[in-house]
Amino acid sequence: MSYRIIADSGMDLPDFLKKDTHIKLVPLTLTVDDEVIVDDESFNQQEFLRKMKESPRCPKSSCPSPEAYMKHMDCDGDIYIITLSSQLSGSYNSAQLAKKLYLEENPHKNIEVIDSRSASVGQTLIALKIKELIEKSLPFDKVVKGINAFRDGLLTKFVLESLDNLRKNGRLTGLSAFIASALNIKPVMGATPEGNICKLDQARGIQKSLVLMAKLIEEDVKNAREKILGIAHCNNRERAEFFKEEVLKRVSFMDCVIVDTAGVSTLYANEGGIIAAY
């Protein structure tokens, strides 16, 4: 079946999707001090974490150009583009412009741009749902309707060792300042329905915050047996497995996917961060 899923590199892929020829990633660029790093298959997480740790300045990210999206649009079949939350990145607007420009020359092409209102493994779950709907032989408009409904029901939560990179890059706009570092308070953060970041709760210490996040998932998940639990970790598989066990002993999900973060998610989650989507 001919189709293509194009996503920005905010989407963190498990190994089995890295080999999927239907999926193409469009890299963001990351800047540490004056060094520009492309978030593609050449990204070295360990080296990037070291550079961030040694740098006195806050790392930055830049969204892809419309041209970067357009170069993947010459293909057979329908196209689905998944971007980072439009509230956190300009990637969505860039993809929409790419769609507009491409359709001017190819007016009969089916292209849908999906604002994930999430990031990382949240985008991954959207890609998996697109594949599921296409494999049911649904037409383009039914896939679009189904994936938008799925996206509207998608929930994202995360616990990070530090919120500094999010705060310094303006991703925590409107949230009151935290005194987390002095008291070892680790907030459990989430995504609003619009895709902004919000604070849900907090606990002292990373382990207690992960347990708290598992409890919050237990409280708000619906139809868990029909859903996949997605977990992304930044260079801490052991912590991801601990969190998985905490969730699954409370909730029976259909399946669970664990991924390590690529560049964009590594920049914002930083070492030890855990992201959950379901």
The model's pLDDT over 73-110, given as tens digits with 9 standing for 90+, comes to: 999 999 999 999 999 999 999 999 999 999 999 999 99
Q: Is 87 in the same domain as 140?
A: yes
Give pLDDT tens digits for 15-74. Answer: 999 999 999 999 999 999 999 999 999 999 999 999 999 999 999 999 999 999 999 999
Q: What is the pLDDT at residue 22?
A: 98
Domain enclosing residue 199, as ranges:
156-277
Query: Could you report the per-residue pLDDT of 151-209, keeping only the tens digit for each?
Result: 999 999 999 988 888 888 878 766 654 555 557 889 999 999 999 999 999 999 999 99
Q: What angle do CA 20, 195, 236 make, to 5 degrees?
A: 55
Pair 148, 174 in one domain = no
Based on the fold, state whether residues 181 and 110 are members of the same structural domain.
Answer: no
CATH of the domain at 222: 3.30.1180.10
Question: What is the rounded average pLDDT of the residues 220-224?
Answer: 97
End-to-end, the C-alpha distance of the chain in Å comes to 27
| 175 and 193 within one domain | yes
Residues 232, 260 within the same domain: yes
Q: Are residues 111 and 147 in the same domain?
A: yes
Residues 137 and 215 in one domain: no
Q: What pLDDT does residue 174 have?
A: 60
Residues 147 and 166 in one domain: no
Residues 102-137 pLDDT 10s: 999 999 999 999 999 999 999 999 999 999 999 999
Q: Tell me, what DSSP letter sits at residue 162?
A: -
Residues 6 or more apart whose CB falls under 8 angstroms from that of 134 comprise 1, 3, 143
CA 246 to chain centroid, in Å, comes to 21
Mean pLDDT score, 253-264: 98
Pick from 153, 173, 199: which residue ends a domain? 153
Do both 148 and 10 map to the same domain? yes
pLDDT of residue 46: 97
pLDDT of residue 173: 66
Angle, vertex CA 85, rays to CA 198 and CA 217, nearest 5: 45
> In this structure, what token pair is assigned to residue 194?
């619009």
Domains: count for the chain? 2
Residues 34 and 144 in one domain: yes
The whole-number pLDDT of residue 180 equals 53
pLDDT of residue 166: 86
What is the predicted pLDDT for the residue at 171? 82
The verdict on 53 and 92 lying in the same domain is yes
229 phi/psi in degrees, rounded to 5: -90, 120
Which residue, 153, 187, 217, sits at the end of a domain?
Answer: 153
Residue 210 and residue 144 share a domain = no
Helix (H) or strand (E) holding 36: strand 35-38
**3-class DSSP state for residue 205?**
coil
Q: Are 228 and 276 in contact (CB under 8 A)?
A: no
Which of 91, 118, 153 is the endpoint of a domain?
153
What is the CATH classification number for the domain harbouring 74? 3.40.50.10170
